[in-house]
Structure formats: structure tokens, C-alpha cells
Amino acid sequence: MTLTVKQAVDKVDNTPAKVTPKEVLRGLLEQNKEAVGASLPSGFSQDRFVRLLLTAANTNPELFECDPRSFLAAGVGAAQLGLEPNDARGLAYLIPFKDNRRNLKVVQLIIGYRGMLDLARRSGMVSSINAFSVFKQDRFEYQLGLEPSLMHVPGDHDENPDDLSHVYAVAKVNGDPQFVVLTRRQIDKTKAQSQGAKSKYSPWNGFYVEMALKTAIRRLCKWLPQTVEVAQALDTDERDLVIGDLGVIGHGDIDYGDVVDTKALEAPANVDAATGEILDVEPQSELVS
């Protein structure tokens, strides 16, 4: 049947508009604004943090292509730690990557080394904590055992990531120094075992030295007195968060049908929906940080 111009226009006008990924994400954040706000430490603005999450997505539009619930989970994870993501300070990053197991893009929260330092210092349980990079041109010696010691004399050179040989983190607890040293081989193994590092947007790709420092801080934090925030950071960092990690968050009235597969909004079969624990993956190496 041939349509008149008016009939054709009426047909187009009556066609329901598809919800864009940006509208889905904006709506999901708006519906769960209270959950984000309740997750924030005191002194943080709920509205400002939600705007920061949207700014992160606008800065990297590939985040709009990800499962929106994984974006919300990663955003709430950052809120719980009080780390503002994707800004110039490098405290934390929301990174998109392809989850081949579920055949969709998801968002991971990756904590930067400054974020790990901030959490450790915020605890008040250490008098000082820092991390340092060692290059091939430096003089560097350390020993463990009953009388551990560490000596580092930096050389006069450019800090070329290709010349990085070690990183170490040092903290003082009750005046006693503690340190952890990682070799280049250990750092590279950690990177290889990181799911988030597989994304082209991962800070591992542009900030290798900083991520190596974070790996040392993270390893050291396992041996230091921990607050809830530090323990949570060690648990959620570089992990694909699922709905069970957040408790109940709102679905609202948004129609996801034209944007994402609603089955992808459920915890996958090999994840405990109550705890977020992955059930059928072999334990990672002790070198994973």
C-alpha cells in the first residue's frame, strides 16, 4: 500500500523513541542518587559526585556502551571509598572493558596509587606511607630476615618506564618502618593477571610506573592495620562488581529493551548474587595485587 506524505509523517511521529544509552545511564544514576549519597563519607556532596560520574562517562563515551548497572556498581564502589574518579589527581578510574564470558562491555573500578595512599593515610593508623620507583641507574640494596634493611640512592637520569627495575612501599606503624619490594618481573605478572589492564583505557597503558607503585602500596597495605575502607579497596579494586556487591538498587521505570540485554543486569551464573564472589575461578597467584 502506498502511503501519502501525511500518513508517512504520522507513522514516524507515532513511532516510540528509543532510549539512548546516555539517557539510560543518567536515569539510573538519578533513580539511585540516594544510594550513591548514602555510600559517601561525610563531607562529600551527593549531587556533585553524581555529576562527576556523568562527567567521567562524557569524557570517555565508551562507558555509555557498557552495562549501565556495572557503571552504577563501580560508581558506588568509588563513592564508598570517597575517591572521585577520572580526574587529574588519578585517585581512581572507571574503565570500560570487554567481558568475554558474558559477551558485553562492563565497567571496572581501578584505584590509582594516590588513591591507595589517601586511604592508608586517612586511616590514622600509620604515621607515614609512601612508594618509590627504582631504575637501573640507581643504587639499590635491600635485605629481609630478622634485621631487614633498605638503601636507595637515585641516579641522575630520566625516569624512563623501560628502565624501571623495582618499586617499593614504606610505612611507619608506631615508629617502626615496614616495607615491601617488588621486582619488574613481579610487577609485569601482576599487570598480566589484571582484567582491567586488558582495556585500552587502563592506566597501566599510560601510567605504568604509577600503577607499579600502587601495586607495591597495595601489597604493603595487606600487612598494615586496616580500616574498613582499606579492606574494601583491596577487595573491590580491579574487580568486576555485580549487583550483589551493592545490595538492592533501583530499576525504576526505564525500558532497557532497546539498549541492553536485561539478562546482563543479573549476576552471572558463576557469581554469588549475595556476595559477588566468583565461584568457579581458580584462586589467583599470591603475586596478584
| Average pLDDT, consecutive stretches of 10 residues, N- to C-terminus, the chain (289 residues) | 53 62 84 83 85 88 87 87 84 84 84 84 79 94 91 90 94 84 93 77 85 89 72 63 40 35 34 35 33
Instruction: Kindly give, in sequence order, each residue whose CB lies less than 8 Å from that of residue 279, ignoring residues fewer than 6 positions away.
Output: 270, 271, 272
Give the strand pairing for 104-111 and 128-135. Answer: unpaired
Q: Which three cell numbers stand for residue 167?
A: 618499586
* Total-model pTM: 0.66
DSSP H helices in 150-202:
184-192
Task: State residue 176's pLDDT score.
Answer: 81
The answer to whether 71 touches 22, Cβ cutoff 8 Å, is: no
- Res 255: pLDDT: 36
Burial 183-193 (b: 16+ CB within 10 A, else e): ebebbebbbee
pLDDT of residue 270: 36
Q: Name residues whose C-beta falls within 8 Å of residue 1's C-beta, 6 or more positions apart in sequence.
A: none
Q: What's the pLDDT score for residue 95? A: 86
| Angle formed at CA 277 by CA 271 and CA 282, multiple of 5 degrees | 90
pLDDT at 136: 93
What are the beta bridge partners of residue 104?
Answer: 99
User: How far is it, in rounded angstroms, from Cα 228 to Cα 237?
Assistant: 14
Spatial CA neighbour of 55 closest among 29, 16, 17: 29
- C-alpha span between 75 and 85 (Å, rounded): 8
Element (H, E) at 108: strand 104-111
3 state DSSP class of 263? helix
* Grid cell in block for residue 91: 585517585
Task: Give, for 26, the enclosing helix (H) or strand (E).
Answer: helix 21-31
Per-residue confidence (pLDDT) for residue 278, from 0 to 100: 33
Q: Give the closest residue to 32 by CA, choosing from 244, 251, 276, 240.
A: 251
CB-based contacts of 241, cutoff 8 Å, min separation 6: 70, 73, 74, 77, 108, 109, 276
- Integer Cα distance of 276 and 90 in angstroms: 26
Beta-sheet pairing, 164-173 with 92-99: unpaired
Under 8 Å between Cβ of 57 and 64: yes
Q: Identity (one letter) of the amino acid at 78?
A: A
- Amino acid identity at 202: S
